[in-house]
Chains A and B, each alone.
Chain A
Amino acid sequence: MEIVASASVPTGLAPILVNGRIASSEIDPFIILAVVAVLGFAAPFFAKALKLPLVVGEILFGVIIGSSLHVLGIVGLDIDLSSGMMDLLSTLGFITLMFMIGMENDFDQLRAISRREKLAILLVISANFMIALVPFLLLGLPLMVGLIVGGVSIAVVMPVLREMGIQRTGFGFKMMLIAQIADVAAIFLLSFSAASESGFRTVMILISIPLLFLILFWLADLLIWYKPHLMSRITNPTDQAELGVRATLAAVLIFYGLALFIGIEAVLGAFLCGMLFSAIFKERGAMMEKFMPLGYGFLIPIFFIYQGFSVSILDLFDAGALALLFLLLSVQFISKAIPIMVSKFFKRPWSNIGGSLLLGTNLSVVVAGVKIGTEAGILDERTSTVLILYGVTSCILFPMLFRKVFRKHLSDRVGAEGDPS
């Protein structure tokens, strides 16, 4: 269908309507950025009104826009909002997100538990990935889908536990540890599954990463010891030149480049950089304070909203897509529930069910996996769309079910014993 410019089309867009298509290269990227910025501002209110985690709100906004564009495309008004600048900002948002996830790792938490508990956590997480892989491999889907489903989103688990006031109980502590380790493991596994390198090279990279990490940690440790004045300027939040923010940005991008150079997934570099920062600076509140506004206030919302643009809810109006969504959600729950319940990870049966439900939330891994998978050409557009929708659904559905189970079966125990585990 041929569409011509008409009076109903905004004047700013009129000159670029050619043969019924609004070409992305011709929309001023700042208009797109302005749209994303307004959505980013509205997202917290939207998420709060619907009692959703913020990131879910941001993605949902993006999905609404993406679906609307899809509808417009069906009627012939094909608007493409992708642009080079937005791609760059979105990638920067993704890098920042991975850096923040890495930085939120708390190595001290691992020291606080016994060897037996460490082993139990390791077994639960390994079993989770193995169970998650089986159905997708049987169906002939990429390995990456199974790895994505094996992930857990600490970014959702932590706020839910905090909101219910149970993050400091034994139950909350173990839940956070599992979520944290599964999150990290999933990102590592996804990066390696996307690598096109030979098996030997992958093994070499696997060995060299911890070694490189240790060397860098040692060098940073030396820097604190021998150059404390420089490090003091970097870590001082009142420094006029904002040396800390500059150094952090430089470090993140160097790691990103280093990862590209080594041949591993580039975002893994940003993630490792975050982990290194969390290992070097036990107390990093001041650094986070400086970096968080830039990350969570600007770049990360751009990433989530922009990611949502590529998703259309209309793609779900298809039996195959709906079946895949259902399968993803079921496997997500089962892969957590079986190891937790079989090993009786928590003492009480309802704690095991509640824990499995909350560990079903999965978003950051999904978004990272989709980005890595599409770039590597492993995931097609349809699977990516269903995966993103699965991530959003899991973050709405599982915390809601957990709250219901918790209120009904666990809250009394928390009141009486301070610990539902």
Chain B
Amino acid sequence: MMRILIIGGGSVGGKLATDLRDPFVLVESDPSRVWELREMLGFDDDSRNVVHGDGTSRETLEPLSNDIEAAVVLMNRDSENLEAVSTLKELGIKKIIARVNRSENMARFMEFGAEVFLHPTGYEEGLIRTMLYPDTKHAIQIFVREGSPAIGRSIRELELPEGTVIGSILREDRLIPPEPSLVIQNGDLIALDTVGSGARKAWRIFSRTGRIGPSGHILIPLSRERDLTAVKEGEMLAKSLGSEMIFIVRPGSEELLKTVGGFISKRIPFKVIHSNNSTREMMEGSRRISWERKERHEMELMSILEEHMREGAPHVDLVILPPPSKPPIYFPFLPQSIDRLIEGSPIPVLVSRNPKTYRRILMYIHSRSTQEINIAIEIARTTGARITALYKRPNRKRAQYLQRFAQVYRVEVDIVRFAGNPTVELIKEVKRNLHDLILLKSNLKELQTSQMRRLVHLGERSVIVVP
């Protein structure tokens, strides 16, 4: 018998607890849900099997961790799950299974030795059981979602692991016999029997491509000589992060591409996308036709970004843009196309000004900063930079979260608390010119949009704006 700790008593945690054959302890932070779970699982009101507590806190987990052999972490946020995983690891729990919401966070969980699955997969509790009991026979159900590599392939072509048999496929309201020639479609619910590690292999075949490892894509539009700074900074980042570079080339900029190809290190993989006429026609068909010609490039880029996001492949991690030219008098109240692009971009945008390796990164911590912390840690640990993080008293917990991860990844971090206005304090720190990279979140309530635009247009340093 194996004792299992479940952190997070949502619908998946509840269903998992209902079907588990081994003893378990479930931790849930919502008191009313604890009461509900106790009633659902048939425990008394003072049961120690369903416990109320904070799943990320050591004080909650330590007393429960005795004799625990496996833990399943199922909270809603990756940041909470990662915090719980790191605490469980410290408490010596060997087998940790964690839910990951964003594919780019998978690598971080795996570094703690956790087994991960990407949420939502469709039938998570079944998948968790296959991970908890890898040597037994399992019946699992997989919901095929957009972005799955299995879509458009026949069952024969899927190369299912040995011992795996598809029982049935539910498509809309119809049960379809699993003929070898049947082509898998988006939205299919597939029931299959499998043994041992075959379950995880099968899951990988059907589920969305979860990017594993720190690699990603850096997207750089090319049109002017000035874009070469962005290329150099992109190269530096690609080298550090192990990312692939994607160049978007406008018709007429092919010569520039030759120059770029000449000085980019051969070890860095890159590919080229030509911005085609269809994109242009689409843009001209839109209401934006009245915009000035020079703005079209940014709109095209936005359209390409949107297409990438829609198709789900390749996964873009960062767009690098060259700095806009400095006007003699700058009015931040009239947004330019680059402002619209940055403020509306679904992925982080870096306005490049510094092709050298970063030494210091400046960031502002707010109540929801998770993605910025992840990006800052990732860049800092691969480039050896030191992070300066500004925060105001109510966001102390987020600052502690950063500090903790900085310790784990051996990143040097200075946490600076301030009392005044966030925008003013941030600009004051920027003006000290100590930092090579500034990391911010766009459309943040406490930061003045006009000053953020000034940083993009008039700043001396590179800026990453995270959506």
A residues with a Cβ closer than 8 A to B are: 108, 214, 217-218, 221, 224-225, 228-229, 231-232, 235-238, 280-284, 286-287
- Would A224 and B458 be within 8 Å (CB), given that A218-B331, A282-B447 are in contact? no
**Which B residues, 408 to 461, have Cβ-Cβ distances below 8 Å to chain A?**
419-425, 427-428, 431, 445-448, 450-451, 454, 458
B423 touches A282 (CB 8 A): yes
- A-chain residues with CB within 8 Å of residue B454 when the two chains form the complex: 221, 225
- B-chain residues with CB within 8 Å of residue A108 when the two chains form the complex: 445
B458 touches A282 (CB 8 A): no
A221 touches B419 (CB 8 A): no
Q: In the complex, given contacts A237-B419, A282-B448, what are 18 additional A-B residue pairs having Cβ atoms less than 8 angstroms apart? A: A214-B333, A217-B333, A218-B331, A218-B333, A221-B448, A221-B454, A224-B427, A225-B427, A225-B454, A231-B424, A231-B427, A232-B420, A232-B425, A235-B421, A238-B419, A281-B421, A281-B423, A282-B447
Enumerate the 5 nearest inter-chain pairs by beta-carbon distance, A residue then B residue, closest first.
Answer: A228-B428, A235-B421, A283-B446, A236-B420, A235-B420
B332 touches A (CB below 8 Å): yes
B451 touches A283 (CB 8 A): no
Residue of A nearest to B450 (CB): A221
Residue of B nearest to A225 (CB): B454
B448 touches A280 (CB 8 A): yes
A228 touches B431 (CB 8 A): yes
Residue of B nearest to A236 (CB): B420
Q: How many pairs of residues, A versus B, come closer than 8 Å at their CB atoms?
A: 61
For this complex, 5 residue pairs linking A to B, each with C-beta atoms less than 8 Å apart, are A228-B428, A229-B428, A232-B428, A282-B446, A283-B422
**Which B residues, 130 to 157, have Cβ-Cβ distances below 8 Å to chain A?**
none
B423 touches A237 (CB 8 A): no
- B-chain residues with CB within 8 Å of residue A228 when the two chains form the complex: 424, 427-428, 431
A283 touches B421 (CB 8 A): yes
B residues with a Cβ closer than 8 A to A are: 331-333, 419-425, 427-428, 431, 445-448, 450-451, 454, 458
Name the one of A214, A218, A224 contacting B424, with C-beta atoms under 8 angstroms.
A224
Residue of B nearest to A237 (CB): B419
B331 touches A284 (CB 8 A): no
Give Cα distance in the complex from A270 to B296, angstroms: 44
A225 touches B451 (CB 8 A): yes
Give Cα distance in the complex from A224 to B419, angstroms: 16
Residue of A nearest to B446 (CB): A283
- A-chain residues with CB within 8 Å of residue B445 when the two chains form the complex: 108, 282-283
B451 touches A224 (CB 8 A): yes
B448 touches A237 (CB 8 A): no
- A-chain residues with CB within 8 Å of residue B421 when the two chains form the complex: 231-232, 235, 281, 283-284, 286-287
- A-chain residues with CB within 8 Å of residue B422 when the two chains form the complex: 283
Q: Which of B332, B421, B425, B450 has the most CB of A within 10 A?
A: B421
B424 touches A232 (CB 8 A): yes
Residue of B nearest to A221 (CB): B450
B419 touches A283 (CB 8 A): no
A235 touches B424 (CB 8 A): yes
Residue of B nearest to A280 (CB): B448
Min C-beta distance of A286 to chain B, whole Å: 6
Give Cα distance in the complex from A236 to B417, angstroms: 12
Give Cα distance in the complex from A107 to B343, angstroms: 18
- Would A286 and B448 be within 8 Å (CB), given that A221-B332, A225-B427, A228-B431 are in contact? no
A221 touches B451 (CB 8 A): yes
Min C-beta distance of A113 to chain B, whole Å: 15
Name the one of A224, A236, A287 contacting B423, with C-beta atoms under 8 angstroms.
A224
- B-chain residues with CB within 8 Å of residue A238 when the two chains form the complex: 419
Give Cα distance in the complex from A282 to B446, angstroms: 5
- A-chain residues with CB within 8 Å of residue B332 when the two chains form the complex: 221
A286 touches B419 (CB 8 A): yes
- B-chain residues with CB within 8 Å of residue A232 when the two chains form the complex: 420-421, 424-425, 428
Name the one of B420, B428, B458 contacting A237, with C-beta atoms under 8 angstroms.
B420
Min C-beta distance of A91 to chain B, whole Å: 29
Min C-beta distance of B146 to chain A, whole Å: 28
Min C-beta distance of A227 to chain B, whole Å: 9
Residue of A nearest to B431 (CB): A228
Residue of A nearest to B422 (CB): A283
Min C-beta distance of A241 to chain B, whole Å: 14
Give Cα distance in the complex from A263 to B450, angstroms: 31
Give Cα distance in the complex from A231 to B420, angstroms: 9
- B-chain residues with CB within 8 Å of residue A225 when the two chains form the complex: 427, 451, 454, 458
Residue of A nearest to B448 (CB): A282
Min C-beta distance of B158 to chain A, whole Å: 44
Residue of A nearest to B428 (CB): A228
Min C-beta distance of B455 to chain A, whole Å: 9
- Would A286 and B447 be within 8 Å (CB), given that A225-B454, A232-B425 are in contact? no
Q: Which of A214, A218, A228 has the most CB of B within 10 A?
A: A228
- Would A286 and B420 be within 8 Å (CB), given that A218-B331, A225-B458 are in contact? yes
Min C-beta distance of B166 to chain A, whole Å: 42
- B-chain residues with CB within 8 Å of residue A286 when the two chains form the complex: 419-421
- A-chain residues with CB within 8 Å of residue B451 when the two chains form the complex: 221, 224-225
- B-chain residues with CB within 8 Å of residue A229 when the two chains form the complex: 428
- B-chain residues with CB within 8 Å of residue A281 when the two chains form the complex: 421, 423, 448
Give Cα distance in the complex from A309 to B423, angstroms: 44
B419 touches A236 (CB 8 A): yes
- A-chain residues with CB within 8 Å of residue B447 when the two chains form the complex: 282-283
Residue of A nearest to B425 (CB): A232
Give Cα distance in the complex from A225 to B331, angstroms: 12
